[in-house]
Structure 1
């Protein structure tokens, strides 16, 4: 009995992460800001078993194949968290391109709200309430 328990804990975990996978150029509902709780969004929620060693959900926004759009997918690699402005040759404007990587189920649903931004908002609210009492 103890041997089975020991083997169970020594074996690597085979639990896959679950992410949203879609491309707004092919799937209109896959916009940058969508409601992941709708039935339409649920059809893009998938088990990432088809990606070898998938540990990350990724959301990318920017210009792809000449179209402004959003892509969500499973990945075995951390793509990072950053935004940059890109100006393509011949265009008169810059485009904001962002990449968000995360490691929790369904974490690539919409825009990430960082804990630092949340803390700043809460502290600002407390200061405002205190000053204007």
Structure 2
């Protein structure tokens, strides 16, 4: 049986955001579709910086890529970026992720440290 995942790139589709706007879900161009990756078992969502642009991608995978976030600092400026990957199993599961209290706490701590360093 085929797996269905959301598949998009925010550099191409402006509504491929980190979180979908469910209030206007009838207007979303991003739709869940059948995976064409051989032996697809997982839906993936990534957020981060690619080529200097903050963005989100969603795709199918035959590998479990785990769930983790890292904070990335670039040497040419003082901003800190959060890059995450989320792996899930099941149809349409990569529409969003669950924000845990730990993730929120770490994000706030990094933001506070960044402000104090300036």
- Scaled to the shorter chain, the TM-score interval is 0.7 to 0.9
1:51 maps to 2:55: no
Higher strand share: 2
Task: Give unpaired runs (5+ residues) of structure 1.
Answer: 1-14, 118-133
TM-score of the superposition, structure 2-length normalised?
A: 0.76
Instruction: Give yes or no for contact 1:29–1:40 (8 Å, CA) kept in 2.
Output: no
CA distance in structure 1 between the aligned counterparts of 2:55 and 2:95, rounded to whole angstroms: 14
1:96-107 equivalences in 2 (<5 Å)? 96-107=82-93
Cα gap change, 1:52 to 1:82, in 2 (>3 Å): same
8 A contact 1:60–1:71 mirrored in 2 = yes
Match of 1:77 in 2: 63
Maintained 8 Å contact 2:66/2:85? yes
How much is the aligned-residue C-alpha RMSD, in angstroms? 2.1
Return the offset for 1:113.
5.2
* Consecutive aligned runs of 4 or more in structure 1 exceeding 4 Å deviation: none
1:71-101 deviation per Cα after TM superposition (whole angstroms, max 9, x unaligned): 0001111111001101123121110011000
Q: Distance in 2 between matches of 1:43 and 1:24?
A: 10
Bigger radius of gyration among the two: 1
Name the count of aligned residue pairs.
101
Unaligned runs of 5+ in 2: 103-118
TM-score, normalisation: structure 1: 0.68
